[in-house]
Amino acid sequence: MQSFKSTSILRHFLQKFRLVSQSRSFCGVSSNVLIDEPESTVLVEGKASSRTAILNRPHVLNAINYSIASRLMKLYKSWEDDPDIGFVVLKGNDRAFSAGGDIVSLYNLLKQGNFQDCKEFCWTMYSLVYVVGTYLKPHVALLNGVTMGGGAGISIPGTFRVATEKTVFATPETLIGYHPDAGASFYLSRLPGYLGEYLALTGDKISGAEMISCGLATHYSHSAKIRLIEEQLGTLITDDPSVIERSLGNWGEIVHPDPASILHRIETLDKCFSHDTVEEIIDALESEAAKQDAWCVATLRKLQETSPLSLKVSLRSIREGRHQTLDQCLRREYRMSVQALSGQITSDFCEGVRARLVDRDLAPKWNPPTLEKVTDDMVDQYFSPLTAFEPELELPTQQREAFT
């Protein structure tokens, strides 16, 4: 399946433009702090009628820290106000687009007692996702490599997403005692059937071919053509999404998911992941596994590696996301993230990062350790309004209303 039809993309873009036109006049692996020199973390290339932002922390798979998020915010706002710039391209340096937020740095900050900087990072990151999702100009993300967590968050809400055979997508947050965030509850909940629930709960990876097939990507090209795509985009003098769509289409390829793809198991997936609770989902998988279904056995094994509390929180997040706009999802996710990082309900985030990325013993001690010990009150607390001393995420919805 190749890209979305032009009319679909134009409708998506024009809806955003109409709503905001009045305002026009994982998972990183760094051990560094969240702040680097901003100019070095995001490089800029100027073209005829476009600008290209390049995520430049290749040693940590372009994990997003505060410097990247804040610099992109400033660049995007300035480019949006510049009448000589028609569209924006976003890509990663070297072999990754972005592995997501720099969670090891968040872990280190929390261990130092610096909760405030963690909140500021989340605030800036989610605000950036909203800017991408409501951008007044066409946005092209070249996803030529690892695209996970927050990396997906700053690309998927945009107008165009080009996947390749090197693309690897995942939202693996439940494996570190967290939840899919940065807009994930918005875009995952809009995937076919209950694929979003599956990806959110298991953290499973999918390929570029699978991304184009399920709608996470809008175009697919071989990685060898990325340089040619960039060269042709660089010659365009336009702010018309249909012109950019045609340019990307010139290099597009028809591709089908591998025979072992999860998309070929969508009927069984929907049967199991459509249930209301994690316990019911597991019961359904066990019932299918008893029929010698190897995929169900493997899926159960994946779920056993995750935080029980994260499973319940993430399922509820995706289900609520089905009925919310992008800004509503981001506000709720910010609330959830503050609760998760505060450590008041559980220390699962720090324990998950420790086990997977710091000590790497792959033996997290979750708290609570089982689904049976996860109470409704624990889950509810993630979704409860923050205290009077803890402001909720503020987004400029009056100036740039989110699409639905």
Looking at the annotation, which residues are catalytic? 101, 150, 173, 181
Q: Which of 47, 103, 46, 51 is nearest to 72 (CA)?
A: 51
Q: 């000589």: which residue's tokens? A: 84
| Cα–Cα distance, 104 to 98 (Å, whole number) | 15
Exposed e or buried b per residue across 117-148, where buried means at least 16 C-beta atoms within 10 angstroms of its C-beta: bbbebbbbbbbbbbbbbbbbbbbbbbbbbbbb
| Cα–Cα distance, 216 to 156 (Å, whole number) | 7
| Cα–Cα distance, 86 to 241 (Å, whole number) | 10
